[in-house]
Amino acid sequence: MVKVRDAKPKGDKASLDIIHTSKKHRRQAWLALAILVICYVACSAFYVGYKIRKIPVFEQTDFDESMMDASVRPAGAKLTDIVIPSSEDQDAMIACALKLYRTANYNLQHDDAVAYAVHTNTEVLKVNTGGIRYTIKNGDEFFNADYFYVPTDASGSLAKAASPEYTNYGYRRYYNKALGIGREQKAKELNYKKQSNGQILFSVDWTDLYFDNEIEMPDEFAESGASYKYYNFTWDTDTIKSAAVEYNEEGGYYKMVVELDASNKKTVKDGIKDLQNGAGDKDAKYTSIIETIEIWDNGRYKTYNTYDGWTSPHIHGMKLISATSANDYRTTFYYDAYSLNINNYQYATEYIESLIK
C-alpha cells in the first residue's frame, strides 16, 4: 500500500489522494510529483537505451529446479524427546517450538549434506520484486547464489534506479573447507527470462561488480564457531508472542506457526539494517512477523516460510511517500543427490574452476 502523506481537513468530502491545504503544501506536492515524473521518464529512456545497447546473453545450464526432490527424508534418528503440550498452555507450547527450532538449527549447521532454495517476493510502490537463492553444503564445499530481480519494464527501471544494489543484482559465494579457499562476488547487472517449464534462467555480467572479496568460513559450517540460526530473527521466550505445534504422522514431520514480537528490538536486531538499507529509510520497521515451519521428525528442516510485514514512512528519502509491504520468503530444504550436486547450479562450475586452479 502506498500513501501520499499530506494534511487532510476534517469534513472535506473530496476523494482526492492529494489535498492542498496551503501554498507550501501545494508546492511540495507538485515538486514530489515532478521528481517522480522526471525519474520515471529518465529511467524509461535509460532502460530503452540500455536494451538497445546491451542485449543480455542467457547462458545454457543443465540445472533444472523441477529435478530437485523435496520428498527425500534426510538421514538421522527420529526424535524421541518432543512432547506437544496442550494448545492452552502457551508457555509449554513456546518451549516446544523453541526446542524444535534449536534442534533444526544445530543440525543444519552440523550436517554435511543439505541444500535449500529460497523464493522471495516483495511489492513496493506497486513494483513486484522477486528473488531466488540457492545454498548448498556438501562435504567440504559450500556454494551460495542469490538472484534478485525487478520487472523488465519502466516501473522496474525506476525501482532499480532508486535502489540498485538491493533490487537487481547477482551474487555468488564459494568456500572450500579443505583448501581454505573462499570468495564472493556481487554483480551490478542481472537479467532474467522464464522458461516454458517455469524455471527462471539468469544472465549476469560478472565483469561489472559491486565487490569481489575473499571470505572466511561461512557460518553454516560448525567449524566456523558461529552461533548459528536460520534466518535473521531472534527466537526466545521474550520475542515469541504465540506458538502452535502439531505432528503430521503420515508425513513424518512437525509443523509449527510462530508469531514473533516485531516491536521488540531484540527480535529484529540482526535484520533491521537490511530492511532499512533496502527501503532506503532509516525509519523503516517491521510491523508483524509470522514464521511457518516444517521440521522432519529427525530434527532436520523441511520448509521455512516467513511473512514479515513492514512499513517505511519516507521510502528512499522521498518525504511525502510512505510504503507498506511484506517480505514473503519461502524456503524448501533438499537432501537428494541432484540438489546436493553444486555443479548442477547456474554460474557455479565456472566460478569454482576460476578459484581452484
Residue 10 has pLDDT above 60, yes or no: no
Q: Is the pLDDT of residue 117 over 90?
A: yes
Helical residues (DSSP H) of the chain, grouped into ranges = 23-53, 90-110, 154-162, 164-167, 265-268, 272-279, 337-340, 349-355
Same domain, 35 and 182: no
Q: Which range is most confident: 34-48, 81-95, 156-170?
A: 81-95
The total of structural domains in the chain comes to 2
**Same domain flag for 46 and 80:** no
Same domain for 263 and 327? yes
Q: Is 6 helix (H, G, I), strand (E, B) or coil?
A: coil
Alpha-carbon gap, residue 300 to 110, rounded angstroms: 11
Shared domain for 50 and 185, answered yes or no, is: no
CA trace torsion 313, 272, 310, 185 (10° rounding): 100
User: 278 and 346, same structural domain?
Assistant: yes
Q: How far is CA 174 from CA 8, 136, 296, 348, 356, in A?
A: 54, 10, 28, 8, 11
Contact 131, 146 (CB under 8 A): yes
Alpha carbon dihedral 292, 296, 300, 301, in 10-degree steps, equals -20
* Contact yes or no for 278/291 (Cβ under 8 A): no
One domain for residues 129 and 245:
yes
Number of continuous H segments (helices) and E segments (strands) in the chain = 8, 14
- Give percent of the chain with pLDDT exceeding 70: 75
Predicted confidence (pLDDT) per residue in 39-74, tens digit: 444 444 444 444 444 556 666 566 788 899 999 999
- Domain membership flag for residue 2: no
Cell, residue 219? 557460518
Q: Is residue 64 part of a domain?
A: no
Residues 161 and 28 in one domain: no
Residue 350 in this model has a pLDDT that exceeds 60: yes
* 41 and 154 housed in the same domain: no
Q: Is 319 exposed, middle or buried (0-12, 13-18, 19+ CB in 10 A)?
A: exposed
Asked if the structure places residue 10 within a domain, the reply is no
Inside any domain, residue 62: no
Task: Give residue-wise pLDDT tens across range 228-272.
Answer: 999 999 999 999 999 999 999 999 999 999 999 999 999 999 888
**What CA dihedral angle connects 170, 171, 172 and 175, to 10 degrees?**
180
pLDDT band, residue 125 (cuts 50/70/90)? low
Same domain, 38 and 94: no
In a domain, 8, yes or no: no
Please report whether residue 102 resides in a domain. yes
CA 53 to chain centre: 31
Task: Kindly state the cell numbers that stand for 280.
Answer: 532506503
| Cβ partners under 8 Å of residue 79, min gap 6 | 103, 297, 298, 299
Do 135 and 206 belong together in one domain? yes
Nearest to 314 by CA among 305, 323, 304: 323
| Same domain membership, residue 191 and residue 160 | yes
CA distance linking residue 310 with residue 285, whole number of Å:
6
pLDDT grade for 161, boundaries at 50, 70 and 90: low
| Predicted TM-score (pTM) of this structure | 0.81
Q: State how far the Cα of 143 lies from the Cα of 154, in Å rounded to an integer.
A: 33
Where in the sequence is the domain holding 177, given as residue range(s)? 76-355
Q: Are residues 47 and 107 in the same domain?
A: no
297, burial (CB in 10 Å: exposed 0-12, middle 13-18, buried 19+): buried
Is residue 310 a part of any domain in this protein?
Answer: yes
Percent pLDDT > 90 in the chain is 57
pLDDT digit string, tens, across residues 281-317: 788 899 999 999 999 999 999 999 999 988 888 766 6
pLDDT reading at 164 higher than 70: no
Task: For residue 151, give the C-alpha cell.
Answer: 520487472
Q: Tell whether 71 is covered by a domain.
A: no
